[in-house]
């Protein structure tokens, strides 16, 4: 397992980060198996775990907390806040009021007295960034959080957050967690360069494009039972499906020529980018984990990367990719003259 520096911090993290989104009711409800997955990842050299308060309504954090008990000091532990955690309209977002409560809830569920990397799960269009950064800075000064990060921030918000931290002389975001895969390459034009300019680590989520880059979805075949596209003929109804099938077929040929599985090609592609620190792998089962771990040392040469560029050009997304920015400036009331 390779270890890389997290941005400009002094922390070294594994080139694979164990994502815990599938731990709990939305993925694997066998909590004992989830704990075994964590233990196996640690044995393989993974020292970086990422979860979020919203995953299975907090169950993911609880599972991770139990799994790392007694090994907390060996792990770089990351979690996230922002998404709704209840019916109350104030139990969400980037306000100081919510942040000071959300962090206490996460600390309790994780069974720890500090979080190594505390990330804002999405940018909050409705809250001043300086309010958010001020509250997060207080958490660092209190020792409850060591480093701050963002997730799925557009490039202009990444830059604005750096400027705001400079204006207020507060702790800044040291890491960005974007969607990035062969299918989702738009961030190569702005997000990744912005992160590099500001010395931020990058830990991409969904490097397998929601399972598409495992080869599980094939033209003319039903989606596998239990997969994300298995319900209501989602493959047939999604207008982006034909283009995705074409890309999967082209990428499979490239993987075969390189002596790799499609999964390993996709993971190698993400970790090959010089801006990327660690790719988040999100196994639901032990079998999936073992396959993902086997890709830890995959390196792609220039010829393979050039061939991938022919299928999905640099800086572009496949149809149907959603970076979930939800820009309110594009709403009719904000753009009518």
| Residues recognised as catalytic | 55
Residue 106, phi then psi, degrees to nearest 5: -65, -40
Neighbours of 225 (CB within 10 A): 7
Instruction: Tell me the chain's radius of gyration from C-alpha atoms.
Output: 20
Q: How far is 217 from 223, CA to CA, in rounded Å?
A: 6
- The backbone region for 155, taken as left when phi is positive above 0, alpha when psi lies in -120 to 50, beta otherwise, is alpha
- Residue 66: strand, helix, or coil: helix
Residue 270, phi then psi, degrees to nearest 5: -65, -50
Q: What is the DSSP string of 179-206?
A: B-SSSB-GGGTTHHHHHHHTT-EE--B-
**Strand-pair category, 3-5 with 12-14:** antiparallel
Q: How far is 254 from 182, CA to CA, in rounded Å?
A: 13
Q: How far is 162 from 181, CA to CA, in rounded Å?
A: 25
Buried b (16+ CB within 10 A) or exposed e, 273-295: bebbbbbbbbbbeeebbebbbeb
Residue keyed to tokens 């070294």: 12
Q: How far is 278 from 275, CA to CA, in rounded Å?
A: 10
251, 213 Cβ separation under 8 angstroms = yes
43, 13 Cβ separation under 8 angstroms = no
CB-neighbour burial class of residue 301 (10 A; exposed 0-12, middle 13-18, buried 19+): exposed
Comparing CA positions, the residue from 19, 16, 7, 277 lying closest to residue 148 is 7
Neighbours of 69 (CB within 10 A): 12
């Amino acid at each position: 397992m390779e270890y890389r520096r997290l941005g400009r911090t002094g922390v070294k993290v594994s080139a694979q980060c164990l994502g815990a989104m599938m731990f709990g009711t939305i993925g694997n409800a066998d909590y004992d198996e989830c704990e075994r997955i964590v233990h196996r990842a640690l044995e393989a050299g993974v020292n970086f775990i990422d979860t979020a308060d919203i995953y299975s309504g907090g169950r993911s954090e609880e599972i991770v907390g139990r799994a790392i008990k007694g090994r907390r000091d060996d792990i770089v532990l990351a979690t996230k806040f922002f998404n709704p955690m209840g019916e109350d309209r104030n139990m969400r977002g980037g306000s100081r009021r919510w942040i000071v409560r959300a962090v206490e809830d996460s600390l309790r569920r994780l069974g720890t007295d500090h979080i190594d990397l505390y990330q804002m799960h999405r940018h909050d269009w409705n809250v001043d960034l300086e309010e958010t950064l001020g509250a997060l800075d207080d958490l660092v000064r209190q020792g409850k959080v060591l480093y701050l990060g963002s997730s799925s921030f557009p490039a202009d918000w990444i830059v604005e957050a750096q400027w705001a931290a400079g204006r207020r002389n507060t702790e800044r975001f040291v890491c960005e967690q974007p969607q990035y895969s062969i299918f989702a390459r738009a961030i190569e034009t702005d997000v990744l360069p912005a992160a590099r300019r500001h010395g931020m680590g990058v830990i991409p989520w969904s490097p397998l494009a929601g399972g598409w880059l495992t080869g599980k979805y094939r033209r003319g075949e039903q989606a596998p039972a239990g997969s994300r596209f298995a319900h209501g003929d989602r493959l047939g109804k999604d207008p982006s499906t034909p283009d995705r099938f074409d890309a999967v077929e082209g990428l499979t040929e490239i993987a075969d020529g390189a002596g790799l599985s499609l999964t390993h090609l996709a993971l190698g592609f993400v970790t090959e980018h010089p801006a990327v620190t660690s790719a988040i792998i999100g196994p639901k089962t032990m079998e999936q984990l073992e396959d993902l771990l086997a890709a830890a040392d995959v390196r792609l040469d220039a010829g393979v990367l050039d061939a991938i560029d022919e299928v999905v050009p640099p800086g572009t997304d496949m149809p149907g990719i959603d970076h979930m920015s939800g820009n309110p400036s594009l709403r009719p009331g904000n753009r009518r003259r």
